[in-house]
Structure 1
C-alpha cells in the first residue's frame, strides 16, 4: 500500500498527542505531519521519529495554509475558541481543495446531528457539501475535561461548578479517541463517508462521577450545579471569553433536556479493547485530581 502524508491539526493538544502516538505505534510507512503554530516548541513535546515532521500552521493565519502542500489526508480538530465557521473553516476547506486534498477526518461530537447550533454541525455540513471524502469522529464527553477545562477550579477549590444539574453524560477517555482515530485515519478507504461515535461504556452524572473519584482515590471533591445565568456571570468575572462560556453552557445545560446518550461499541470494534472506565481514569490521573 502506498504511503500517505497525514496532516494533523491540533497536534500539541491532548487528542493530537494521543493520535500521533498511536499513528507512530502502527506498522507502516505513512508520514505524519504535525501542523503547529510554533515548530520548535512542538518538537520538544514529541519523541524524535523518522515518520514525524512539523510544519507551521495556524487556523487564524491563512498565509500558513501553504503547509497543506503535498498532503493526502487531514485530521481536522476545531480549536475551542474558533466558533465562526464561515470565517475560519470555509477558507480552510477551500485550501484543502486547492491542494488536491480529498480526504478529511473531522473530530466532531456525539449528537451533532441533533444540535444545529454548535459549530461542529456547520463544519460537518460544509465538509459534506464540499464533496470531500470524510470520516466524522464523534466522541462523547471527555474524561479529560476534568483535568483541562474544569481543572483550575478543581485544583484550587476542590469543586466543579456547572449548569448541568443531574444530566447524565457518556464519559470517554481521550486515549480511546486517539487510538480509534489512528485506526480510522490509517484505513481511510475502508471507513470513509461514515460517522463513528467513540464513547465510553458509562452514562453518569457529575454527582456520580465526583462520588466515584472520591471513593477511588480517597479525596473530597464537590460538585455544585448552578443556573446558566449564574454560571455565565461566574465565568465572565473569571475573564473567560464569552463565546467559550456559551459553548460551555450549551454542552452542560442542554443535556438536562435530552435523553441519555447512547453507548457505542465502535471503539471496541476498532481496537478490540474495552473503553476506559471513570474509576480507571481516576486511578491513572490521581495526581491531577487531588486538589
Structure 2
C-alpha cells in the first residue's frame, strides 16, 4: 500500500482577519495539514488549543524562514501595511523556493492591471515576482473590506449613527472578509483548480450615502454620512506613529477616490459562485449579520 502524503499548508498572518478566517474554513479538511505562522510562542497558544500546529516566522528575521518553511507545500502570504512588504515578500518567496514550496496564494489589493495607486501596484509587483519565481499561484485582489465600516485603524468608523470616510461621494466596490477567506481556503486546498488564477473580489458597489440609507432601513435608527478631508486621515496617521511611506499612499488614494480619478473604483465581479458554489455577501446581508454592532 502506498503512503499518501498529505499536503502541508502554512498560513502567514494567522492572527489577522483573513488568515484567521482562512484557517477556520480549512479546519474540517482532513486532506491537508494546517500550520499557523506566529511571531512568538505566546501567540501560538490559541492555535495549539485547537490542535493546530504552529511555527515561529518573522518576516523581518530571515533566519526564521527556512525552519518555518520546512516540508511546507503551499503557503498563504499576508503582509502588513508597510513599504517593507516588498522586501519581506521577496525574502520569504526566495526562501520558499529554496524550501520546495509549490503553490503560493497571495493576498494582494484592489485594482486593475494598469493601476497607478502606489500600494496596489506594490502588490502587483509581488504577483509578478511569484510568477517569475516559477511557483504555482493564485492571486487574490480584494476590493475594500466591508469590515472597515465596523472599525478602521483600531477606531470605530461609525459613532452614534454618523459614518465618516475620506472619499466624498465616491462609489466603492466592497467585499466581506469572510468571502475573501473562503476563496483563499479553496485556492490553498485545490491548487489544481485555482492555480494560475487572479481573482478580483468585489461584489457590491455603493456610496456611503447609500450605505447610510440601508443601515437606517435595516437597523431601524437614523444613519448619516459625513465625509472627512483626507488631510484629517494623514494627520491621524502621523500622530499615531504609523509607517508613513505606506500611509502616505493611502492618503493619496483617498484623495483620488474623492476626485473620481481611480479607474474601476466601483468594479464588481461575477466570479464568486463559480469559485465557491455560493453567493457573495452583499451590503444588505452584511448589515443584517452585524446589526447588533451597528446599533447604538
Q: What interval of TM-score do these two structures reach, taking the shorter chain for normalisation?
A: 0.7 to 0.9
Equivalent in the alignment of 1:271:
276
Q: SS at the partner of 1:44?
A: helix
Aligned residue for 2:27, secondary structure, equals helix
Are 2:283 and 1:281 equivalent residues in the alignment? no
Structure 1 position 23, deviation (Å)? 1.0
Answering whether residue 80 of structure 2 is matched by residue 75 of structure 1, we say: no
Aligned to 1:129: 132
Change (3 A) 1:46 1:176: farther
**2: CA distance, partners of 1:290 / 1:68:** 44
How many angstroms apart in 1 are the aligned matches of 2:49 and 2:272?
26
SS in 2 for 1:106: strand
Of the three residues 211, 214, 217, the one matched with 2:216 is: 214
The reply on whether 1:9 has 2:12 as its aligned counterpart is yes
Q: Give yes or no for contact 2:140–2:184 (8 Å, CA) kept in 1.
A: yes
Does residue 199 (structure 1) correspond to residue 202 (structure 2)? The answer is: yes
Question: Runs in 1 of length 4+ with deviation above 6 angstroms?
Answer: none
- 1:223 is matched with which residue? 225
Q: What root-mean-square deviation, in Å, do the aligned CA atoms of Structure 1 and Structure 2 show?
A: 2.4
Which stretches in structure 1 are left out of the alignment for 5+ residues? none
User: In structure 1, what is the Cα distance between the partners aligned to 2:247 and 2:222?
Assistant: 26
Shift of 1:181: 1.4
Instruction: Find the counterpart in structure 1 of residue 87 from structure 2.
Output: 87
Residues 35, 54 of structure 2: 8 Å contact kept: yes
Could you give the per-residue CA deviations for residues 257-286 of structure 1, whole angstroms, max 9, x where no partner exists?
124533222211122111112122122223
Question: Residue deviations 1:101-120, cap 9 Å, x none?
Answer: 13101011231522242221
Q: How far off its partner does 1:19 sit?
A: 0.6
State the TM-score, normalizing by the size of structure 2: 0.86
Correspondences of 1:56-71 after superposition (within 5 Å): 56-65=56-65, 66-71=67-72
- Single out whichever of 127-136 and 248-257 deviates more from structure 2: 248-257
Q: Aligned equivalents of 2:161 and 2:236: distance in 1?
A: 16
C-alpha spacing 1:240/1:209, structure 2 compared with 1 (3 Å): farther
Shift of residue 247, structure 1, vs aligned partner = 3.8
Q: Determine if the alignment matches structure 1 residue 185 to structure 2 residue 169.
A: no
- CA contact under 8 A between 1:43 and 1:54: conserved in structure 2? no
Query: Offset of 1:150 from its aligned partner?
Result: 5.6
How many residues are aligned here? 286
1:136 CA displacement = 0.3
176-185 vs 281-290, which moves further: 281-290
